[in-house]
């Protein structure tokens, strides 16, 4: 990642200030279950909280990345 680049969140369309966990890259791979030659991928950027807020309430319980970010901070 280029530290001088500015990223815009794909969910809220605002600039992402580098901070605890941000910016995030969301990679989408279409035809995930198909052969590689049928697949294609694209990356988007977002705030970690915007991504999490888009998840269904039941899926949010599986989201653990914030814990990793908090753990990294506690090491510093």
Which residues bind to Zn ion, rule: CB under 5 A?
A: 9, 11-12, 47, 50
Number of alpha carbons in the 13 Å side-chain half-sphere of residue 63? 16
Question: What are residue 36's phi and psi, to 5 degrees?
Answer: -55, -35
* Cβ closest to Zn ion, residue 36 vs residue 56: 56
Nearest distance in Å: CB 64, Zn ion = 20
CA-CA-CA-CA torsion sign (56, 57, 59, 63) = positive
Nearest distance in Å: CB 45, Zn ion = 9
* Cβ closest to Zn ion, residue 17 vs residue 39: 17
């Amino acid at each position: 990642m280029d530290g001088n680049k500015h990223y815009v969140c794909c969910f809220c369309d605002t600039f992402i200030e580098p901070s605890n966990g941000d910016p995030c890259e969301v990679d989408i791979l279409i035809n995930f279950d198909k052969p590689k030659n049928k697949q294609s991928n694209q990356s988007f950027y977002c705030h970690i909280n915007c991504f999490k807020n888009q998840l269904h309430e039941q899926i949010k319980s599986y989201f653990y990345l914030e814990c990793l970010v908090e753990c990294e901070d506690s090491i510093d």
